[in-house]
Amino acid sequence: MDFLVPLLAQLTNGLIIGFIYALMALGLTLIFGVLKVINFAHGEFYMLGAYISYIASRMLGLHPIIGIIAAVAVVFIIGMLMEKALLTPIYEDKVERKDEYALLITFGLSIFLMNGALVVFGPYQKSPEPLASGVLDLGVLSVSSGRIYAVVLAIIFMAATLFIINKTWLGTALRALSQDRDASTIMGINAKTLGSIAFGLGAAMAGAAGALLAPVFLVFPIMGVVPAIKSFVIIILGSMGSIKGAIYGSLLLGIVESLGVFFLSPSYRDGYSFLLLIIILLVKPKGLFGGSQWNN
Amino acid sequence: MLEVKNVDAGYGKINILNDLSLKARENNLTLLIGPNGAGKSTLLKAIFGFVKTSKGSIEYNGKDISSLPSHQLVDHGISFLLQRVSVFPELTINENLKLGAWAFKKDKQKVTQQLEAMYDKFDVLKQKRNEKAGLMSGGQKRTLEIARMLMSNPKMLLIDEPSAGLSPKIAKEVYQILHGLKDDGITLLMVDQNIRDSIGYSDYVYVLEQGSVSSESKASEVEANLKEVVQSWLKF
């Protein structure tokens, strides 16, 4: 019985982190689903979101929630502009090896943004204003109020994204674009603009995740590397391009990490995700939701 | 209605269309025939902006549309039926049809009216409206593509091999649907290899060879000399 309370606490933490991973992985899967581009700069959009919330809450003195909303909005715009500036040549048939081009250009963008943050903010860790202070008493369990707020906001962001995807004209068009670009154009859909919106939305979700986790894990230029790698792990284990896979995969990863920390050692926290990936791919090579589409 | 004037177009450095000129007359079904590689499908893609032209002009109702982005052509009343299957397989039939009304998506009433009109016209779609389009048969998918195209109230249709992959019975139904669209005031420019079946529904025929028009005439005249026309292709 003695170990149940700390185990429950770890599992709760795992689920909280899992929901925020889900936000980030959903953004990555949205970009991959619509544009067929693996965005290597996804972690840096996470980092940008964290810095923007830091600037808003610490430097401008705004409420942390305003900081998070600002992070989402600014990263959305930056994401759209980056897509327009860097990925447009793919759709204009200006490059021969489109997949390789997209990989290299987003990889370059990642390095550029990381070093840009280093120049502007320096290498030091910074901490934005937390969403809330104190703990929430849940009987046997106490959880940091800031984390509860973060997970609630993550769920709201995800619900809003899923609503857009499933219930609006924009979402239907994005799903259509993910299946057939030429057929979408025949409908009168501006595939280039919609592609930029999809990239902006995906980047904004990473930015939101960064802003939500910034008070927990602090803000520094290379903070996006590990979350980005975990997002790749999630979308591979959940099946590339599957929304359901991204969400369930994130929660599973969060829980496995917390169980690993509890039963084994916290030192190898990041290693558990890769162990999980290896096991799942050995059993289900196409991932948990193998073969399913971005539209599920 | 649509006039292609001295157009050159192709892929990269390879030119497929060479100084090609033709007209699609209003309310006619104009048929493009010719051997494989003659440039028939490339011509439709060039008209719709999927293939860039390097010379000449494409005029629709007197306006040069060759530099317009493809998605804007729908606003001008031009729609395109691709040769390959182009339904969105993971969307429902209803969602597929609604996307056909993208040009006036803000007018909810008009979208609903158009949807109902399509369901009245194509009963098979009405019965399956909430099923995923990917689960339909080949003929049903073709029907959905045509209905989706009509959702935008087009005045000009570009049609590439409408009977490709369909059984003769279903192909005949598709030709009848397309031919019937002329009664709604729609002009059609159609590419087809299945000349024997399609010629009877056509008004005017262009024969394309090596990216240019080699001959043109009324469909009835080609129909009378069909054997000679086909034999002339076998030389290529």
3-state secondary structure at position A142: strand
Residues with Cβ within 8 Å of residue B235, at least 6 apart in sequence: none
Taking alpha carbons only, the member of B25, B38, B9 closest to residue B213 is: B38
- Per CB-CB distance under 8 Å, the chain B contacts of A188 are 71-72, 74-75, 102-103, 152
**The predicted structure's pLDDT at residue B233:** 64
Tell whether B188 is within 8 A of chain A (Cβ).
no
pLDDT digits (tens, 9 = 90+) for B158-185: 999 998 888 888 888 889 989 899 888 9
Tell whether B48 is within 8 A of chain A (Cβ).
yes
Cβ atoms of residues A65 and A135 within 8 Å = no
CA distances to A137, A272, B3, B158 from B23, rounded to whole Å, are 78, 66, 4, 13
Q: How far apart are CA B40 and CA B223, in angstroms?
A: 19
Cβ atoms of residues B153 and B114 within 8 Å = yes
**The predicted structure's pLDDT at residue A1:** 59
What is the rounded average pLDDT of the residues A252-275?
87
Pick the residue of B45, B92, B104, B105 with the most A CBs within 10 A to test the interface with A by mutation.
B105
Asked if residue B80 is part of any domain, the answer here is yes
> Residue A240: which pLDDT band, with cuts at 50, 70 and 90?
confident
**The predicted structure's pLDDT at residue A274:** 87
A-facing residues of B in 198-227 (CB < 8 A) are none
Asked if residue B34 is part of any domain, the answer here is yes
**The predicted structure's pLDDT at residue A143:** 79
3-state secondary structure at position A137: strand
* Distance in Å, alpha carbon of A164 to nearest chain B alpha carbon: 14
- Per CB-CB distance under 8 Å, the chain A contacts of B88 are 175-176, 179-180, 183
Cα dihedral: A177, A240, A37, A154 (round 10) = 80
Residue type, A10: Q
Of A10 and A196, the structure prediction assigns the larger pLDDT to: A196
Cβ atoms of residues A218 and A126 within 8 Å = yes
Asked if residue B78 is part of any domain, the answer here is yes
**The predicted structure's pLDDT at residue A291:** 56
Confidence check: pLDDT of A43 > 90: yes
Q: Are strands B53-60 and B63-64 parallel, antiparallel or unpaired?
A: antiparallel
Most confident among A133-137, A283-287, B63-67 (mean pLDDT):
B63-67
- Per CB-CB distance under 8 Å, the chain B contacts of A175 are 88, 90-91, 95
**Domain count along chain B:** 1
Compute the residue count for chain A: 296
Confidence check: pLDDT of A255 > 70: yes
Cβ atoms of residues B87 and B136 within 8 Å = yes
Confidence check: pLDDT of A296 > 60: no
Q: How far apart are CA A103 and CA A101, in angstroms?
A: 5
- Per CB-CB distance under 8 Å, the chain B contacts of A187 are 71, 74, 99-100, 102, 148, 152
What is the rounded average pLDDT of the residues B70-81?
95
**The predicted structure's pLDDT at residue B191:** 95
Exposure string for A90-122, b = 16+ CB within 10 A, e = fewer? beeeeeeebeebbeebbeebbeebbeebeeebe
**The predicted structure's pLDDT at residue A294:** 55
Of A140 and B106, the structure prediction assigns the larger pLDDT to: B106
Q: How far apart are CA B149 and CA B157, in angstroms?
A: 8
pLDDT digits (tens, 9 = 90+) for B80-117: 999 999 999 999 999 999 999 999 999 999 999 999 99
Q: Which residue of B has its CA nearest to A179?
A: B88
Q: How far apart are CA B106 and CA B115, in angstroms?
A: 14
Cβ atoms of residues B171 and B194 within 8 Å = yes
> Residue A250: which pLDDT band, with cuts at 50, 70 and 90?
very high
CB contact under 8 A, A186 and B72: no
Q: How far apart are CA A69 and CA A204, in angstroms?
A: 10
- Per CB-CB distance under 8 Å, the chain A contacts of B89 are 179
Residues with Cβ within 8 Å of residue B82, at least 6 apart in sequence: A182, A183, A186, B145, B160
Tell whether B80 is within 8 A of chain A (Cβ).
yes
Instruction: Please report, for chain A, how many H helices and E strands are present, in that order.
Output: 12, 2
Tell whether B99 is within 8 A of chain A (Cβ).
yes
Confidence check: pLDDT of A87 > 70: yes
CA distances to A23, A101, A249 from A143, rounded to whole Å, are 20, 45, 23
**The predicted structure's pLDDT at residue A271:** 87
**The predicted structure's pLDDT at residue A93:** 74
* Distance in Å, alpha carbon of B101 to nearest chain A alpha carbon: 8
Report the percentage of chain A scoring pLDDT > 70.
97
> Residue A243: which pLDDT band, with cuts at 50, 70 and 90?
confident
- Point out which residues pair with A219 in neighbouring strands: A126
Exposure string for A170-194, b = 16+ CB within 10 A, e = fewer? ebbbbbbbbbbbebbbbbbbbbbeb
Residues with Cβ within 8 Å of residue A208, at least 6 apart in sequence: A23, A49, A68, A71, A72, A75, A153, A154, A157
Cβ atoms of residues A281 and A237 within 8 Å = yes
Asked if residue B104 is part of any domain, the answer here is no
Q: How far apart are CA B224 and CA A166, in angstroms?
A: 54
Asked if residue B133 is part of any domain, the answer here is no
Identity of the residue in A183, A188, A296 whose CB atom sits nearest the CB atom of B88: A183
> Residue A217: which pLDDT band, with cuts at 50, 70 and 90?
confident
Tell whether B85 is within 8 A of chain A (Cβ).
no
**The predicted structure's pLDDT at residue B94:** 96
* Distance in Å, alpha carbon of B148 to nearest chain A alpha carbon: 8
3-state secondary structure at position A28: helix
Q: Which residue of B has its CA nearest to A183?
A: B86
Could you report the predicted ipTM of this complex, rounded to two decimals? 0.89
Q: How far apart are CA B236 and CA A115, in angstroms?
A: 61
User: Any idea what the CATH number is for the domain that residue B50 is in?
Assistant: 3.40.50.300
pLDDT digits (tens, 9 = 90+) for B114-132: 999 999 999 989 999 999 9
Q: How far apart are CA A122 and CA B89, in angstroms?
A: 49
CA distances to A32, A242, A283 from A293, rounded to whole Å, are 11, 5, 20
Delimit the domains of chain A by residue range.
24-224
Confidence check: pLDDT of B195 > 60: yes
Q: How far apart are CA B18 and CA B54, in angstroms?
A: 10
DSSP secondary structure, chain B, as one string: -EEEEEEEEEETTEEEEEEEEEEE-TT-EEEEE-STTSSHHHHHHHHHTSS-EEEEEEEETTEE-TTS-HHHHTTTTEEEE-SS--S-TTSBHHHHHHHTTGGGTT-HHHHHHHHHHHHHH-HHHHHTTTSBGGGS-HHHHHHHHHHHHHTT--SEEEEE-TTTT--HHHHHHHHHHHHHGGGGT-EEEEE-S-HHHHGGG-SEEEEEETTEEEEEEEHHHHHHTHHHHHHHHTT-
Confidence check: pLDDT of A219 > 90: yes
Of A2 and B25, the structure prediction assigns the larger pLDDT to: B25
Report the percentage of chain B scoring pLDDT > 90.
70
What is the rounded average pLDDT of the residues B143-151?
95
Range of the domain at B48: 2-91+154-233
**Mean pLDDT over each residue of chain A, to the nearest integer:** 89
Chain A residues whose C-beta is within 8 A of a chain B C-beta are 169, 172-173, 175-176, 179-180, 182-191, 293, 295-296
